[in-house]
Structure 1
Amino acid sequence: MDGLGSRLRASLRLKRGRGGPSQNNPREAVKEPESSQEHALPSFAGGPHFFEYLVVVSLKKKRSGDDYEPTITYQFPKRENLLRGQQEEEERLLSAIPLFCFPDGNEWASLTEYHRETFSFVLTNVDGSRKIGYCRRLLPAGSGPRLPKVYCIISCIGCFGLFSKILDEVEKRHQISMAVIYPFMQGLREAAFPAPGKTVTLKSFIPDSGTEFISLTRPLDSHLEHVDFNSLLQCLSFEQIIQIFASAVLERKIIFLAEGLSTLSQCIHAAAALLYPFSWAHTYIPVVPKKLLDTVCCPTPFMVGVQMRFLQEVMDSPMEEVLLVNLCEGTFLLSVGDENDILPPKLQNDILDSLSRETKELHKTSEEINEQVSGPFVQFFVKTVGHYASYIKREANGQGHFQERSFCKALTSKTNRRFVKKFVKTQLFSLFIQEAEKSKNPPAGYFQKKILEYEEQKKQKKNKGKD
């Protein structure tokens, strides 16, 4: 466990290089074209590249017994001339990926039908930075019994919808030949990731289909581009979502249970996104592999997803003060008991009323649903801690110092003040305020925009009262 944990936390900084099949399985070697048939058309660059790796993970029978072991059978790009430290970092990353592509364990049998699944996992670096694995698990082309394989894209960028579209393109090419995937991914790798609201277009040639133009557009509001709230809304009531949010705000232990990998990863990403503008900094595993199930025994905060097949193992584990969420049944199997009393009552009712009102309409886009679900929670933070910038005193050199006591006393509502006194002690708030102390001005963004709107509304209301 310690060795595996160190691999997952290892530094993952890697250089670019050539692509190619994994040397683990030379029989699946794919000849790469000397020049790419695809290139990025003029785009609005956002800076970073789309991805670091595309790997294919297949199930290979172990030498002893009937069990299977997930193994990387294709890797793009294939890196060469790495320094020793860089090579070790690459090996740590590549050794961790198969485990998360097949978190179900190694008891598999050949199948003739398998409903494809799209899910994601997160690898955390020693410095707290994260890499996301976007996965598509499916059956290879064919008619007889066969084992599923996973296409996994590793990226530093959180944008689930956009990478789902990329995986659609990879899957389409996978039906033809592995060799057709390479030029598409090479073109994507040469393209810069678009800025919010902008589009990058790839020119792609597919045998028997001709040239296609593939447009990849990044959402204008980037703070929700990595999440889709639909699964969470389908599985749980508004009241339950608010209680999960309350538990997360106080950095408690939360376990999500579901059958499907897609549901599990989408719901846990959605729950974490409710904390915006704060970021969950503790253990965060959207789909826990079987080998890491003892994570649920950790004494420190965590937010993890576990497949329902491991329910008994979870229930038999020694756990204290955990919220265990059954996404299949829409119930809490375990809870602390005070989840409904954590948030100030009036603000909790405001969230509930807003969710009930905003989500009534049918036929909404995912972006509209995301905005309407996230909005009430952002407003909660605006009302409780949105005045933080006024309580950062700055020295002549610009370094800020947060005045915690004055900040809490500024709240006139006793229930709000009682909540905030607890919240300021969390790592969520501490990391946020540390960044604010370093910055001379509040960072421009969605949260700051909502703070300014709220302050303007209060000012107008006050002036109206004078009239």
Structure 2
Amino acid sequence: MKNILDEVEKRRQISAAVIYPFMQGLRESPFPAPGKTVTIKSFIPDSGTELLELTRPLESRLEHVEFQVLLQCLSPEKILQIFASAALERRIVFLAEDLSSLSKGIHATAALLYPFTWCHTYIPVVPEQLLSTVCCPTPFMVGVQKRYLDEILDQPMEEVLLVDLSEGKFLKLVGDEEEILPGKLQSEMLASLPTMNNNIKTSEELNAHVSDAFVQFFVKTIGHYPAHIKWNRSGQGCFQERPFCKAPTSRACRRFLKRFVKTQMFSLFIQEAERNRKCAEGYFQQKLNEYQEQKKPRRLS
């Protein structure tokens, strides 16, 4: 996506008319599979015809993500409470003065859920005409400019987490946000999360560092799911929910799983796993394999 936007911007500086043939060629090209490349012919005045190669990433977990926004606006404790609410697919409203903070903050929050995907209403910036969205009884993650705060507070909102990014505080809570995540894992995540004072040189390093803290949470909570998929002779899998939820030795972890398995994002994740006996490749599977290797007892030489 970034390469496409860069190409559009390059053409915009020449003429808006140069953008349209490029976008037409893009629309007519087949959408590449993850890791594959598509070649697009593109004409630019004074440069002639160019062949532009666009490769679709194997994974997009950190594509266009800036966790720095969350760290600048919110304490690590509040970030974990927002993550916990998102993991249970609750209703979350972000407020900020500027559009950039809204869009970056909400996108970063959705990225914390990797390897899961937010699959409900998702509006980075809600226009004034759609402010009633916050009354919706279904899960949502939306951003609203702070100048509409009074209109938002006048809405009959129930069980909504209202996050003020400008002030770094919550204006409305459900009340149990601190109790959703297992305490031990919550402490580990707080210790792993960097602060703006950490000596992390680049935004890419910061993004990777933050993402890994949340990836490890899911590795430790749901990483045993492959052992609870039974396979028939035709290769169709069937997930065993009850044994999966009872497997962890931690009572807090079992309590979290009983709620998490009821979410749409977990259901879609498991449906995909049931279709393919071969474990999906990707960063999460890599971290899962590493964790399983660490847990194996070492042989005495």
Report the TM range for the smaller structure's normalisation. 0.7 to 0.9
Deviations 1:117-164 (A, max 9, x none): xxxxxxxxxxxxxxxxxxxxxxxxxxxxxxxxxxxxxxxxxx4x3444
**Greater helix share, structure number:** 2
CA 311–379 in structure 1, closer or farther in 2 if over 3 Å, else same: same
Give 3-state SS (helix, strand or coil) of 1:270's partner: helix
Give 3-state SS (helix, strand or coil) of 2:143's partner: strand
CA RMSD of aligned residues (A): 2.8
Q: Which position in structure 1 is the counterpart of 2:238?
A: 401
Q: Which stretch of the first structure deviates more once superposed, 242-251 or 222-231?
A: 222-231
Q: Distance in 1 between matches of 2:10 and 2:38?
A: 16
The correspondence of residues 44-443 of structure 1 with structure 2, limited to 5 A, is 159=1, 161-173=2-14, 177-189=15-27, 196=35, 204-206=43-45, 210=47, 221-356=59-194, 360-364=198-202, 366-443=203-280
Q: Which position in structure 2 is the counterpart of 1:141?
A: none
Deviations 1:416-466 (A, max 9, x none): 11211221122221221122222222212221111111000111xx226x6
Q: Distance in 1 between matches of 2:198 and 2:35?
A: 28
Residues 30 and 38, structure 2, Cα contact 8 Å, conserved in 1: no
Q: Distance in 2 between matches of 1:457 and 1:323?
A: 37
Give 3-state SS (helix, strand or coil) of 2:92's partner: strand
Q: Distance in 1 between matches of 2:284 and 2:197?
A: 21
**Greater strand share, structure number:** 1
Deviations 1:205-247 (A, max 9, x none): 246xx56977766656533224332322322222221111001
CA 362–384 in structure 1, closer or farther in 2 if over 3 Å, else same: closer
CA 230–215 in structure 1, closer or farther in 2 if over 3 Å, else same: farther
Q: Report the TM-score, using the length of structure 1 for normalisation.
A: 0.58
Q: Distance in 1 between matches of 2:197 and 2:5?
A: 25
Q: Distance in 1 between matches of 2:112 and 2:148?
A: 27
CA 319–230 in structure 1, closer or farther in 2 if over 3 Å, else same: same
Q: Report the TM-score, using the length of structure 2 for normalisation.
A: 0.88
Q: Distance in 1 between matches of 2:68 and 2:4?
A: 17
Which amino acid is 1:172 matched to? Answer: Q
Paired positions, count: 299
Which amino acid is 1:252 matched to? Answer: R
CA 162–361 in structure 1, closer or farther in 2 if over 3 Å, else same: farther
Which amino acid is 2:263 matched to? Answer: T
Q: Distance in 1 between matches of 2:196 and 2:238?
A: 39
If you compute each CA radius of gyration, which structure gives the higher value, 1 or 2?
1
Unaligned runs of 5+ in 2: none
Residues 194 and 210, structure 2, Cα contact 8 Å, conserved in 1: no
The correspondence of residues 27-46 of structure 1 with structure 2, limited to 5 A, is none
Which amino acid is 1:463 matched to? Answer: R
Q: Distance in 2 between matches of 1:445 and 1:304?
A: 29
Q: Which stretch of the first structure deviates more once superposed, 187-196 or 270-279?
A: 187-196
Deviations 1:12-67 (A, max 9, x none): xxxxxxxxxxxxxxxxxxxxxxxxxxxxxxxxxxxxxxxxxxxxxxxxxxxxxxxx
CA 410–249 in structure 1, closer or farther in 2 if over 3 Å, else same: same
Measured after TM superposition, the shift of residue 352 of structure 1 is: 1.4
Q: Which position in structure 2 is the counterpart of 1:104?
A: none
Q: Distance in 1 between matches of 2:231 and 2:196?
A: 40
Residues 88 and 263, structure 2, Cα contact 8 Å, conserved in 1: yes
